[in-house]
Amino acid sequence: MTPMNNGPLLQIRALRKTFGAQTVLDGINLDVAKGETLTILGRSGSGKSVLLKLIIGLQKPDSGSIRINNVEVTELKTGQLDEVRKKIGFLFQYSALYDSLSVEENVAFPLRRHTRMPEHERVEKVRELLTLVGMEKASAKMPAEISGGMKKRVGLARALAMDPNLLLMDEPTAGLDPITAGEINSLIVELQRARQVSSVVVTHEMQTVREVSDRIAMLHEGRVRLQGTVDDLKRSQDELAAAFVKQGMEEPCHA
């Protein structure tokens, strides 16, 4: 974190992305303050995941600006971009753990690559991270041997390995049962309290929206249709927002 800098950690302006004839993002403006959690809500195919991939530079936008800590990342060359990426954690939708590496090696991967940490220190750090997500007992297991929810936890530990100041999470609870989803959500909230990271969480699950967000942006047809707090969303007259809120009510609650 850079204390000298008081602007938003992440600033997105007029972001556009098309795939062939299909416009996925059509002029997105978003800000994420330091320590804030912004939830991006939207239907499947509304460009939520694409937005995350644009932020970390896995895809290039057609036009528009993305600034992280006041650095324009869309114009960076690979080497400079990698410096920015080291301070961003990314939790993939299906966790994307490396199949050929064990749980602890997965978490150690970024540390091994980017730090000159001595072996014992690294082992200690990996153990710390796995304890944080409640996976210390499974450290020697291979990804194929653990459940989807456990993979998400390990993915989260890996995303946190480099002490990121921005955490991007793509559907952290999709495909999980409500109880496991609730556990992951409280884990995310706990992490935010403990570490003060800014997060962008992409989801279509109201449960996650309610439990983790400071602020919500609803994406629809390539634009930000609605922005505000959870209460703003509930009070909104917007049909789509109402449909999402209703979906959340039908699910069992984990207050």
Which residues form the interface with other proteins (CB under 8 A)?
A: 53, 56, 58, 78, 82-83, 85-86, 88, 90, 92-94, 96-99, 109-110, 113-114, 158, 162
104 vs 211, beta carbon nearer other proteins: 104
93 vs 236, beta carbon nearer other proteins: 93
Dmax (CA) for the chain in angstroms is 56
Compute the distance between CA of residue 66 and CA of residue 45 in angstroms, rounded to an integer.
21
Cβ of residue 27: shortest distance to other proteins, in angstroms? 25
164 vs 182, beta carbon nearer other proteins: 164
Of 200, 195, 194, nearest to 164 (Cα)?
A: 195
Cβ of residue 96: shortest distance to other proteins, in angstroms? 4
Cβ of residue 49: shortest distance to other proteins, in angstroms? 10
Which strands sit side by side in the sheet containing 22-32, from one edge to the other? 22-32, 10-19, 63-68, 71-72
113 vs 235, beta carbon nearer other proteins: 113
116 vs 120, beta carbon nearer other proteins: 116
Cβ of residue 192: shortest distance to other proteins, in angstroms? 20
90 vs 244, beta carbon nearer other proteins: 90
Cβ of residue 93: shortest distance to other proteins, in angstroms? 7
Cβ of residue 176: shortest distance to other proteins, in angstroms? 17
10 vs 230, beta carbon nearer other proteins: 10
Cβ of residue 82: shortest distance to other proteins, in angstroms? 4
139 to 19, 102, 105, 110, 163: CA distances (angstroms) = 40, 7, 8, 16, 20
Compute the distance between CA of residue 47 and CA of residue 202 in angstroms, rounded to an integer.
10
